[in-house]
Structure 1
Amino acid sequence: MWNNTIFRLHFIVFLWGFTAILGKLISADAATLVFYRTGFAAIFLFLYFRFVKKQSIRIPQKRILQFLGVGVFIGFHWLLFFLSIKKSNVSITLSCMSLATIFTSFIEPIFYKRKLDWLEVLLGFIIVCCMGVIFQTQFQYMWGIFYGILCAFLGSCFSVFNGKLYGKASAGNIIFYEIVGSWLILSFFYICTGQISEIVKINSQDLALVLLLASFFTAFPMYVSVELMKYISPFTLILTVNLEPVYGIVLAYFIFGQSEHMGSLFYIAALVMLLAIIINGIMKAKRRKTLAQNELKATKL
């Protein structure tokens, strides 16, 4: 059972890593890509919950507005993610995602009212230094790096706000309304800019790839990740998700060839960032275990 769970976990992280590959293969602009991705993903989730799980999506209006609002963050996160890929490449974008850790270390204490963790600050300093090396060696991808950094920041905001809403409704309903919120903000963008006609210009090949992206690489892994939380700890999930850039960069290296071949300093900096994040996760897990053991001893006394 445990081996099967771990295999499923790595499989969905592999799927998330592959979304960057699809983002580069799809020729449509980033906004159109995200508009269709979120729209189709919402439809797939609705059909699944309604006809397969026989689960109602009805929740209090107050909660709907909260989930839709948080969905705006993931919508812009995805938009910037694909903008970064199109302005640079898969390797640069996925490396920028590592900055989400440092952003979270500063955002989370504000909303959860806890002290700043100096271990996370140190980790953040190491990651920023590594990103500085990447920026200097890959300056031609300046805008891609800029969009990637903003993408990581919004991803951190989404994670923190999503954590505050956990348990307010079923996991399926939360995911569904957040994706709907992402689609609504993209629709609002097209209506306000008068570019609604641009949506229909997507070609058949791109449409087929977006359908694949929305179903097998978005709706499916998001739902499975929530289901896996019944069997694994959040730490195991987060630690494994850190492998997403590894899967994506390796795949991009072999699929796209020369355009994804980076200098040795890039790979050294990316490796140091990944190791820093993994070490941080392991140390946190040990710290929590020690704290739990001390609390248990105190109750026995």
Structure 2
Amino acid sequence: MASTDAAHEGSRLTPLAAHVRLQATVLLWGMTALLGKSIQVGARVLVFYRVLIVACVMLVLLRKKRIPLAVPRRTLFELVATGALVAIHWMAFYGTIKLGGIAVAVTSLSTTTFFTALLEPLVFRRRVRPRELVMGVLVVFGVAVLLGVELGSPRSAIALGLVSAFFSAAFGTWNGRLSKMMPAEKVTFVELSAALVVTGATFLVKGPFVPPWALTAHDATRLVFLALFCTALPWLWSLRVLRTLSPYTVALSIALEPVYSLALAALVFPSEERLGPRFYAGASIVGALVVLDAWDKRRRPQASQAAPPSG
């Protein structure tokens, strides 16, 4: 395992390559809300099959690359705990979509940047940066303008969306540490296997579960697409990106998800989806914040480097 991890340590992306890879990752993630809305099964069933497919794919990759599955006990606990956070985040996110719609879910999720600004200093043992908190608030404003979310949205949906955002910030920040310790395939396999167990356990408390043979062809094909192209691939990319960029920078860029989603919808369905002034105003705000953060981190490179993992 030592030789494999040593090889892993040499695979760091350059800052420019990391930013390009990050935007490609966000573009793929931008499709998840649309797919989540079109898939008819409940939020927990959706998450269960999503992580099941990804875990199986990661196991195949680990075997093919001959990456050993052995993980130190302490690290295993961290990975399993992070996987549990992932499960809660996804169940809450898709639950928000079912309760309040995509706009409420995505706007609530944009608070991930603010939560990350609070959590990252705890994990990497540094001071809170007030400018990151301010930018986190501005991101929420920009996304709200872009999507036209009103304050009258269901409170239960907003509350669940904030829960989703907090757990997204929690596992994203902790992955900033774990991504430096072992190959991305191993991190993904253990975390999403844990997420699979947590999600599956919820069906023991409250059903109903939908077995594979009961899935419609419509749902099955979209679940496979969601798992492979909107989860497995961007998940591996994001872990590599986190070896170069900070969790906060990643969280800030993820706020561009709705920008990509709406732009793609307008491109594919020009007669149905039109980009109005709200889109351009909101996209300009979020885009400017992403560029400002990148400029600030380049100006002060020591601030953009996450502390190395301890132990």
What TM-score results when the alignment is normalised by the length of structure 1?
A: 0.79
Q: Kindly indicate whether the alpha-carbon contact (under 8 Å) linking 2:104 and 2:149 is maintained by their aligned counterparts in 1.
A: no
- Structure 2: distance between partners of 1:222 and 1:116: 27
Q: Kindly indicate whether the alpha-carbon contact (under 8 Å) linking 2:61 and 2:185 is maintained by their aligned counterparts in 1.
A: no
Q: Is the deviation greater in 217-226 or in 97-106?
A: 217-226
Does residue 78 in structure 1 map to residue 94 in structure 2? no
Does residue 61 in structure 1 map to residue 61 in structure 2? no
Does residue 243 in structure 1 map to residue 250 in structure 2? no
1:100 shift after superposition: 1.1
Q: Kindly indicate whether the alpha-carbon contact (under 8 Å) linking 1:84 and 1:148 is maintained by their aligned counterparts in 2.
A: yes
Answer with 1 or 2: which has the greater Rg: 1
Matched to 2:174, the amino acid is F
- Structure 2: distance between partners of 1:12 and 1:177: 21
1:269 shift after superposition: 4.4
- 1:146-201: per-residue Cα shift (whole Å, max 9, x none)? 33322221110112222233433332211111111111110110112253467764
Does residue 159 in structure 1 map to residue 172 in structure 2? yes
Identical-residue share of aligned pairs (%): 26
Match of residue 28, structure 2, among 9, 12, 15: 15
More helix by percentage: 1
Matched to 2:181, the amino acid is K
- 1:57-94: per-residue Cα shift (whole Å, max 9, x none)? 22233322321111111111112222222333334433
Match of 1:296 in 2: none
1:265 shift after superposition: 5.1
Matched to 1:101, the amino acid is T
Does residue 35 in structure 1 map to residue 43 in structure 2? no
Q: What does 1:1-301 align with in structure 2 at a 5 Å threshold?
A: 9-50=22-63, 52-127=64-139, 129=141, 137=150, 139-140=152-153, 142-196=155-209, 201-227=214-240, 233-234=244-245, 238=250, 241-253=254-266, 264=277, 268-269=281-282, 271-288=284-301
Give RMSD over aligned pairs: 3.6
Structure 2 vs 1, CA of residues 258 and 86 (structure 1 numbering), >3 Å: closer, same or farther? farther
- 1:212-255: per-residue Cα shift (whole Å, max 9, x none)? 2112221122223445668xx31697365443331123234566
- 1:111-137: per-residue Cα shift (whole Å, max 9, x none)? 333222121122234345557777873
Structure 2 vs 1, CA of residues 27 and 291 (structure 1 numbering), >3 Å: closer, same or farther? closer
Structure 1: runs of 5+ lacking an equivalent: 293-301
Q: Kindly indicate whether the alpha-carbon contact (under 8 Å) linking 1:72 and 1:182 is maintained by their aligned counterparts in 2.
A: yes
- Structure 2: distance between partners of 1:5 and 1:272: 22
1:20 shift after superposition: 1.7
